[in-house]
Structure 1
Amino acid sequence: MTAENQLPYGVDVRTPSVARMYDHLLDGKDNFSADRAACDHLLQQVPSMKDLALNNRAFLQRVVRTLAREYGIRQFIDHGSGLPTQDNVHQIAQRVDGASRVVYVDSDPIVRSVGGALLETDDRTAVLQADMRDTQEIFDSEPVRRLIDFREPVGALFVSVLHCIPDADRPVDLIRRVRSRLASGSVMVICQLVSESEQVRDEVSAFMDRETRGHWGRVRTRADVESYFEDNGLSVVEPGLVEVSRWRPADVPAAPPQQSFEWEEFGGAGLVP
């Protein structure tokens, strides 16, 4: 576990962080008591949360491998990447082609600190501390300008992060801003927490907004996620938009099946024409 005296300046360990909560659910070590307590409370409301987190991680691994192998993607921007864990995006992509390049983007300073230390010997990979909504800042940053060639296809990842964005910031517009900068043949990977139960959406969103002190958006519906693709002219690749454990499940050993479906991670991959 990261020691408090080693933390980057300004980190409040008393307020749960979505990135650190996710780290705890994945059995990581870079989280604190407030993060673990928030996870415990969340699991009381949605007991499937840990299984969902593990399945979401397995989806990320499968989709990156697919983009590298089948679509020839050699450069990735991972928006809202969270803390490093086993089999990160750069490791998967570089097993397909050692020249693959990755920029991880996250607003949590601990992600920048831990990720930067992990990647300091890899000049094809960088961690950028930035708000994923700040598309211009991200695209103008030194790591992106150094590692990403926008004349070539890019894998733009928004995996389990758009539920952190409020409706007022219009996630569909964020997807549009990024999509407009990508070359033909790029692929956008988008999934987020959804529920068809209004009660679950309201109760969980209120809990997370309260726990993270406003660093949360909303649990949405499948139709909301479908609009991210349809409204931005993305051509959805097989097997379509699905609960993520059903996205090409044979490509990677399955995570433990989700036992209940108070909510689910829903999405897929869309090709930029």
Structure 2
Amino acid sequence: MTDGGIDTSVVHAARRYNYWLGGRDNFAVDRESGDQIAALYPWTPMWARENRAFLVRAVEYLAGEVGIRQFLDIGTGLPTANNVHEVAQRVAPESRVLYVDNDPLVMAHARALLSAQGRTEYLEADFLAPDDILHSPTLTKVLNLDEPVALMLVALVHLIPDAQNPLAAVRTLLDALPSGSYLVMSHGTADFMTADALADVPEFQRLATFQMRSSAELLPFFDGTHVVDPGLVCITDWRSPLPESERPDPAHVGCYGAVGRKE
């Protein structure tokens, strides 16, 4: 079944994520998939919220402390609260944001993004075709690649198996950006999981296209960058304003986050 050219019978990760965040831009198949995963890992909706909080802190850091004014957000997903352009432009209204996604439903929401203060545009393209992104007239309309850019890959790369070589796509994108640019990533991991949770990973991977990676597997994505403090850590520990005793258990988040500055 389709809805305006959108296949409503196939689960889409962005719509499922939207459901976990409490959004309305999802279909029954996405909600069913989200509920099946949450039955295995009841803290999954909390992970989605913590991941969005990590994004907010990272953008505030880059736009505020660092002074970045250009953001390339790939795999942006469906708009909810605190999108990159909203956070960046609260700090610096002149910030420019290019969103990239390959989901037609996201494209259907592009007009709402385009009305944002400052320069915000949307490009329908695939992370695994980075040259298409880099050579798009839309990119050069919004971003100046002679000046630092924040490359946002938040909750994206864990959706792509090694066989599709996401590391090569990241390298191509980073190589095109000047020194002083930044890479922001969050990525699911089993490093924090308990033995009981690990036992459910095969069933989780049956329900979702998802490749967990360890810290050793993630650090190569940051080659050529200086990973800023506090390093590659659980997303809840990345510059959190909360004392450690009030943060969620990393075993219930299962997600790394880091920000690296290109040398």
Q: TM-score if structure 1 supplies the norm length?
A: 0.87
User: Could you tell me how far apart the structure 2 residues matched to 1:85 and 1:227 are?
Assistant: 31
User: Could you tell me how far apart the structure 2 residues matched to 1:217 and 1:26 are?
Assistant: 18
Change over 3 Å in CA distance of 1:226–1:120 after alignment to 2: closer
Residue of structure 2 aligned with 1:86, choices 74, 77, 81 = 81
In the alignment, which residue of structure 2 is the partner of 1:269? 259
1:221 matched to 2:214? The reply is: yes
In the alignment, which residue of structure 1 is the partner of 2:169? 174
Q: Which amino acid aligns with 1:127?
A: Y
User: Could you tell me how far apart the structure 2 residues matched to 1:245 and 1:259 are?
Assistant: 9
In the alignment, which residue of structure 1 is the partner of 2:206? 206
In the alignment, which residue of structure 1 is the partner of 2:121? 126
Cα displacement (A) at 1:267: 2.2
User: Could you tell me how far apart the structure 1 residues matched to 2:201 and 2:18 are?
Assistant: 22
In the alignment, which residue of structure 1 is the partner of 2:156? 161
Deviations 1:114-171 (A, max 9, x none): 1x12123346101111111111111112221100100000000001110111211222
User: Could you tell me how far apart the structure 2 residues matched to 1:54 and 1:262 are?
Assistant: 12
Deviations 1:224-273 (A, max 9, x none): 112222xx22110011110101101119x99x954672661102000000
User: Could you tell me how far apart the structure 2 residues matched to 1:40 and 1:124 are?
Assistant: 37
Change over 3 Å in CA distance of 1:132–1:150 after alignment to 2: same
Percent identity, aligned pairs only, is 36
1:141 matched to 2:136? The reply is: yes
**Greater relative contact order (CA < 8 Å, ≥ 6 in sequence):** 1
SS of 1:267's equivalent? strand
User: Could you tell me how far apart the structure 2 residues matched to 1:8 and 1:117 are?
Assistant: 16
Residue of structure 1 aligned with 2:43, choices 29, 34, 48 = 48
Change over 3 Å in CA distance of 1:237–1:117 after alignment to 2: same
Bigger shift: residues 11-20 or 116-125: 116-125
In the alignment, which residue of structure 2 is the partner of 1:233? 224
Residues 71 and 150 in structure 2, CA contact (< 8 A), matched pair in contact too: yes
User: Could you tell me how far apart the structure 1 residues matched to 2:190 and 2:174 are?
Assistant: 26
Cα displacement (A) at 1:222: 2.2
User: Could you tell me how far apart the structure 1 residues matched to 2:88 and 2:207 are?
Assistant: 36
Q: Which amino acid aligns with 1:225?
A: L
In the alignment, which residue of structure 2 is the partner of 1:243? 234
Q: Which amino acid aligns with 2:160?
A: I
In the alignment, which residue of structure 1 is the partner of 2:30? 35
Deviations 1:166-215 (A, max 9, x none): 2112222121111101111100001211103664443322221xxxxxxx
In the alignment, which residue of structure 2 is the partner of 1:213? none
Q: Which amino acid aligns with 2:123?
A: L
Q: Which amino acid aligns with 2:237?
A: R
SS of 1:93's equivalent? helix
* Number of aligned positions between the proteins: 256
Change over 3 Å in CA distance of 1:257–1:161 after alignment to 2: same
User: Could you tell me how far apart the structure 2 residues matched to 1:79 and 1:201 are?
Assistant: 26
In the alignment, which residue of structure 1 is the partner of 2:7? 12
Q: Which amino acid aligns with 1:203?
A: E
Q: TM-score if structure 2 supplies the norm length?
A: 0.91
Residues 205 and 219 in structure 1, CA contact (< 8 A), matched pair in contact too: no
Residues 200 and 262 in structure 1, CA contact (< 8 A), matched pair in contact too: no
